[in-house]
Structure 1
Amino acid sequence: MLAVAALLTGCQKTGASGGSGGAHSGRLDDRTPVASRPTVSGAVFLAEGECSSRGRGTITEVPCTSERAAARVTARHDSGAGRGPLCPARTDFVLHLSESRPAVDEDGDGAVPRGRACMRNLEPPHPGDPGGGGGPRTIVGDCVYGAGRGEVRETACDGSGKRKPEYRVASAERSRVACGASTALYVTLGGARSIGCAVRV
């Protein structure tokens, strides 16, 4: 039985290993910690293909056939935020997992990072889908608005978000010169084709 603290977000983070000795935690972008006691079906907590429940900030591992199952791990990486492979394009949210082991902690917070888990909701909504207005990655089909200081933020293309869309990422290219003539904005994406060519909407 592992004690888990989870922070619910809709952003970039995932994956972690189980193992013996220590409590595991998950962190999302809103940085609101909550605790639960998950049942782990395998040696690794939230391994690829496993499912989790979710509610009021708690995340626990449950069988994918359970009526409590809400999201599935589509990829799990042992690297922390900003390192290692990207989550799949249509990831809905990411969990940052860590293990509570004060004796081997490096920065004094009592937690040892154990990686990231890329999560996909089992049922709609899917904020990670093109135009969905969320997820940890900006992909082709997503809409953004100017947030100042040369930054853009994602919003729903159908206008249901807090901010109306100003641009839509029409294609992803390896360089700016490959973008079409209608390109009004370049958006930094992840992956091999890292230049998003955005048009006005």
Structure 2
Amino acid sequence: MLVCTAARPRAAWGTVCALLLVTAVALTGCQKSGGSGSTASGRTDGPTPAASRPAGFGAVFLAVDECSSRGRGAFTEVPCTSERAAARVIARHDGGGKGGPACPARTDFVLHISESRPAVDEDGDGEVPKGYACMRNLEPPHPGDPGRGGGPRTVVGDCVYGAGRGEVRETACDGSGKRDPEYRITRAVAERAACPPATQLYVSLGGERPVGCAVRI
């Protein structure tokens, strides 16, 4: 049975290269359950209901540009023209999320997917490779946008606050989050020495320009 779990909304953790330490958000792990068919469930604090994909819908479950519904923690693949469609796949990668390709910066949330001996598979071999789907809401809000305080990645334009014990966490730049912002990431560079002189915090962002240069707000 195929299971999708949503990664926790970005509270963006990343390693800070000097003043503070930020811990990178890990993608939520896959859950496996027995039986046939395909299901998808969103991450919540407790057990989540499962929802079935209509048999034969799409060659690949949640392929790029396909859409999912969302309700009470459950995710189901649906046509993007459906009134139930809530989010679109903007990138899809095989394998586990750890060490895999990063989702695009505009990703709102991530679904981790695994499937073993499904009722309907891609090539008839009885299995579908596990992977993860980078999702973008069809309508606002978009927590993955810069400064919104969510999503799986920390990007230029995001804000963070000191969380104690050498850590910082992301929060909305407009003050609408649970904590007020203290620093804003203004630039991404290849190495710390390339940050502007006014930089007060260095945040690890990953990718080709892994150092985020942040200033106090």
Counterpart residue type for residue 82 of structure 1? K
TM-score with structure 1 length normalisation?
0.82
How far the C-alpha of 1:190 sits from its partner, in A, is 1.7
Aligned with residue 145 of structure 2, among 107, 126, 129: 129
Counterpart position of 2:49:
34
Q: SS state of the match for residue 150, structure 2?
A: coil
Aligned with residue 73 of structure 2, among 26, 38, 57: 57
Contact 2:204 2:212 in 1 (8 A): yes
Distance across 2 between alignment mates of 1:74 and 1:185 = 31
After TM superposition, list the pairs within 5 Å mapping 1:125-164 onto structure 2: 125-164=141-180
TM-score with structure 2 length normalisation?
0.77
Distance across 1 between alignment mates of 2:38 and 2:8 = 17
Report the aligned-residue RMSD.
Answer: 2.5
Percent identical pairs in the alignment equals: 66
Counterpart residue type for residue 196 of structure 1? G
Q: How many residues align?
A: 185
| Pair 1:88–1:58, CA change in 2 (3 A) | same
Counterpart position of 1:10:
9
Please list every run of 5 or more consecutive structure 1 residues that lacks an aligned counterpart in the other structure: 102-111
Contact 2:109 2:152 in 1 (8 A): yes
Distance across 1 between alignment mates of 2:100 and 2:142 = 24
How far the C-alpha of 1:38 sits from its partner, in A, is 1.8
How far the C-alpha of 1:53 sits from its partner, in A, is 0.5
Q: SS state of the match for residue 178, structure 2?
A: coil
How far the C-alpha of 1:24 sits from its partner, in A, is 4.4
Counterpart position of 1:93:
109
| Pair 1:158–1:88, CA change in 2 (3 A) | same
Please list every run of 5 or more consecutive structure 2 residues that lacks an aligned counterpart in the other structure: 11-25, 118-127
Distance across 2 between alignment mates of 1:144 and 1:28 = 26
Counterpart position of 1:107:
none
How far the C-alpha of 1:10 sits from its partner, in A, is 2.3
Contact 1:72 1:119 in 2 (8 A): yes
Matched, 1:195 2:211: yes
Aligned with residue 80 of structure 1, among 82, 92, 96: 96
Q: SS state of the match for residue 180, structure 1?
A: coil
Counterpart position of 1:184:
200
Distance across 2 between alignment mates of 1:83 and 1:22 = 29
